[in-house]
Structure 1
Amino acid sequence: MNKSKIRIGFIGLNPDKQWASIAHIPALGTLVEEFEIVGVANSTYQSAKKSAEAFQIPLAFENAQALILSDEIDLVVITVKVPHHYELVKAALGAGKHVYCEHPLGNGLEETKALAALAAQKNVVAVVGTQLVAAPELLYLQQLINEGYVGRVLSSTLNGSVNNWGDNVISHNYYINDKSFGATLFTVPFAHTLAGVIKVLGGFGKFKAEMYNNFTSVKVTDTDEIKSKTTEDQILVIGAFKSGAAFSAHYRGGINATSLVWEINGTEGDIQVTSSSGHAQLLGLKILGKKSDEKELKNLIPPAEMYQGLPDDPLVRNVAAIYRLAAGDIRNDTRNAPTFEDAAKLHQVLSSIEKSASI
């Protein structure tokens, strides 16, 4: 083990095509000068040993606490389901470790705020995986807005759809239909995209919201069971940014024709951002724009240097971009990767939207 590298311990890494194995592992494979995966802990020791063997990781820990307390680990990466985030992140912060936790950081606003406060108290690098905010296309879009491509922003409209959260699901994904698990249309694809919107256009002023559930039950296709669905599949928000620009959003679940269309309109031009899914954090974004004296939209392609050193696959690339920022933060005591404080601010917006929709 090379102590000049940042030594990672995974909590929740399995070789069966789950998120950590399809995104984190290949992302870290492009950053071998910065990171070394040293250990893994899963729900059982047998599972940890299986993952350690599959990914050629030196250490399999008997449990998460053993990994957290190990002197061999610098950065604890937590990629388990949301209800387990709070206790694991709290323990890692308590041990003085740097932490990278997948979004949503906490299962609700109070957990998220508590973890953000603890991270600030411990003064460690605490990163949340809202990877869209580090995507090259999103950073280029932010640059275009800041440089005045559209002039003063007057309005922005966001429409997204995904094929999850409809009336059927496979058994290992059923949990996303149970609101208590914290991994909903609202808290995952909508929230990931909202984090990008806020980065580009700033925070929100006033807004109103509605959320609806069109499918109150789902068929579990591999077992033929019918189970309840408590998560909303329609999210609507209308309001304004602090700048005064108008904002509207509509996210839809259970739609086969998945898409994302995000428009930004200003005094001097317009920008349209599109993707093939409302899961904007997983896919590349296409940016089109036109100035007010132009008739047609044209491609606005990010400079090649924005992609330098990053993987081609956007699903992996955006995660690698987060890790690259995290490495700089750990080495230089900076806070350029999305922080737990950012997560708390995002969740405050989500909580306000949810409160508005409940009135």
Structure 2
Amino acid sequence: MTAPIRVGFIGLNPDSNWAATAHIPALRSLGDSFEITGVANSTPESGRKTAQALGLKHAFDTPADLVRSPDIDLVTVTVKVPYHFELVSQALEAGKHVYCEWPLGNGLEEARKLATMAAERNLVAVTGTQARAALEIRHLRKLIADGYVGDVLSTTIVGSGGNWAYQTNAALYYLFDKTNGATMLDIPMAHTLAALQDVLGRFDVLKATMMSNFDTVTVTDTGEKKPKTAADQIMMQGRLASGGALAVHYRGGISKGTNLLWEINGTEGDIQVTADLGHAQMAQLHIKGARGQQSEMADLMPDASLYNGQPDFAGARNVAGIYAMLARDIQEGTSTAPSFQDAVALHEILARIETLAATDG
């Protein structure tokens, strides 16, 4: 029997945040493949509180102590983006496999440096673009590959970011400062573009516009108005490598209509993907389609049995999919999970969008 992969978290609190709501149920759904072994937080006290609450063996005083520990095989980094480079670098230098939440780095150059470090050390280094592991995205990819819509003529996405409009709370204000690398472009739009590439293949970005309806944001905890430098309207036009047209529009806040609408139009049929939030990585996706002589769209969801034993929360279910691939890569020497090199390619797309938007503006 293969020994479980021992996971150490940098940035895990039992009461809140993405690690607790997505990573912990994801790992627990995978049986004996993983053992959640230790944690290091911003303070030793926080780490001890988390370890006690979750029944972990180790609470490390610092991230450096965690990555050096012989009891840790895989380091999972789930802190804010500005800290990714330092912490992931430490883990790689210590010879540990890494799961880093997306974005990999605060910008393209940091991502490139981390990818080089991982390759030089021959480590399994994975980035959490977990929409790529969604059951619905895998099913959608098969539908397209099997010719459900025929030749793809065009695809259009409209998504709501949830954040990045005119108000937020203090804990999320950092998202509204573009220097932190956690903007609407960096997070929901990037996650969705990663999934789009898996379904429809590579694409070229031809034109982009980024703008803001709001230059300040109200922090609801205090009523204070603070500067907002992250765009709340992002529009991109492109061309699929297969020849089809591509249009993407992400908008800040929440719409009273459909908050994720993705249409794929082809010579033989059409597919529509919807969700209640523009974050394809954590929203429950719904797929409908029609082809041939059909006049109304019908359900095209994956077989219901595929969801058996999976976490109810789509975000946790998708993260579990990434961990399952990661385990196979560590144990069998494969390369199936989204790698740091994949992350660099996605960062390059975002940099291209920003460059074209600056030129357009």
Alignment TM class, shorter chain as reference? over 0.9
Secondary structure at the aligned position of 1:226 is classed as strand
TM-score (norm 2): 0.96
In structure 1, how many angstroms separate the alpha carbons of the residues matched to 2:340 and 2:309? 26
Q: What displacement does 1:287 show?
A: 0.7
Q: What residue is the counterpart of 2:259 in the other structure?
A: 259
Q: Aligned partner of 1:219: which letter?
A: T
Q: Aligned partner of 1:204: which letter?
A: F
Q: What displacement does 1:329 show?
A: 1.0
Q: What residue is the counterpart of 2:59 in the other structure?
A: 60
Is the contact between residue 205 and residue 353 of structure 2 (CA under 8 Å) also seen in structure 1?
no
- Aligned-residue Cα RMSD (Å) equals 1.4
In structure 1, how many angstroms separate the alpha carbons of the residues matched to 2:212 and 2:146? 40
Pair 319,182 (structure 1): closer, same or farther in 2 beyond 3 Å? same
Is the contact between residue 205 and residue 352 of structure 2 (CA under 8 Å) also seen in structure 1?
no
Q: Aligned partner of 2:24: which letter?
A: I
Q: What displacement does 1:330 show?
A: 0.9
Is the contact between residue 109 and residue 344 of structure 1 (CA under 8 Å) also seen in structure 2?
yes
Secondary structure at the aligned position of 1:281 is classed as coil
Q: For each residue in 1:23-73, what CA deviation from the matched residue of structure 2 results, as whole angstroms up to 9, or x when unmatched?
A: 111111112310101110011111111111111111011100110011000
Is the contact between residue 213 and residue 233 of structure 1 (CA under 8 Å) also seen in structure 2?
yes
Of residues 198-207 and 341-350 in structure 1, the stretch that sits farther from structure 2 once superposed is 198-207
Q: What residue is the counterpart of 2:319 in the other structure?
A: 319
Pair 306,335 (structure 1): closer, same or farther in 2 beyond 3 Å? farther
Q: What residue is the counterpart of 1:38 in the other structure?
A: 37
TM-score (norm 1): 0.97
Q: What displacement does 1:16 show?
A: 2.5
Q: What residue is the counterpart of 1:245 in the other structure?
A: 244
In structure 1, how many angstroms separate the alpha carbons of the residues matched to 2:180 and 2:2? 37
Q: Aligned partner of 1:316: which letter?
A: A
Is the contact between residue 162 and residue 278 of structure 2 (CA under 8 Å) also seen in structure 1?
no
Flag structure 1 segments of 5+ consecutive residues without an equivalent. Answer: none
Secondary structure at the aligned position of 2:281 is classed as helix
Aligned pairs (5 A) from 1:182-221: 182-221=181-220
Q: What displacement does 1:312 show?
A: 2.5
Q: Aligned partner of 1:329: which letter?
A: D
Is the contact between residue 162 and residue 256 of structure 1 (CA under 8 Å) also seen in structure 2?
no
Q: What residue is the counterpart of 1:74 in the other structure?
A: 73
In structure 1, how many angstroms separate the alpha carbons of the residues matched to 2:186 and 2:174? 13
In structure 1, how many angstroms separate the alpha carbons of the residues matched to 2:68 and 2:320? 26
Q: What displacement does 1:358 show?
A: 0.3
In structure 1, how many angstroms separate the alpha carbons of the residues matched to 2:311 and 2:61? 33
Aligned pairs (5 A) from 1:38-187: 38-187=37-186
Secondary structure at the aligned position of 1:254 is classed as coil
Q: For each residue in 1:206-244, what CA deviation from the matched residue of structure 2 results, as whole angstroms up to 9, or x when unmatched?
A: 410000011110111111211000000000011201111
Q: What residue is the counterpart of 2:333 in the other structure?
A: 333
In structure 1, how many angstroms separate the alpha carbons of the residues matched to 2:214 and 2:205? 29
In structure 2, how many angstroms separate the alpha carbons of the residues matched to 1:308 and 1:332? 26
Secondary structure at the aligned position of 1:57 is classed as coil
In structure 2, how many angstroms separate the alpha carbons of the residues matched to 1:299 and 1:89? 42
Q: What displacement does 1:307 show?
A: 3.0
Of residues 249-258 and 127-136 in structure 1, the stretch that sits farther from structure 2 once superposed is 249-258
In structure 2, how many angstroms separate the alpha carbons of the residues matched to 1:109 and 1:91? 19
In structure 2, how many angstroms separate the alpha carbons of the residues matched to 1:306 and 1:116? 33
1:277 aligns with 2:277: yes
Is the contact between residue 130 and residue 281 of structure 1 (CA under 8 Å) also seen in structure 2?
yes
Q: For each residue in 1:277-296, what CA deviation from the matched residue of structure 2 results, as whole angstroms up to 9, or x when unmatched?
A: 10111111111111132111
Q: For each residue in 1:228-271, what CA deviation from the matched residue of structure 2 results, as whole angstroms up to 9, or x when unmatched?
A: 00000000011201111100011100234261000111111111
Q: What displacement does 1:123 show?
A: 1.1
Q: What residue is the counterpart of 1:355 in the other structure?
A: 355
Q: What displacement does 1:161 show?
A: 1.1
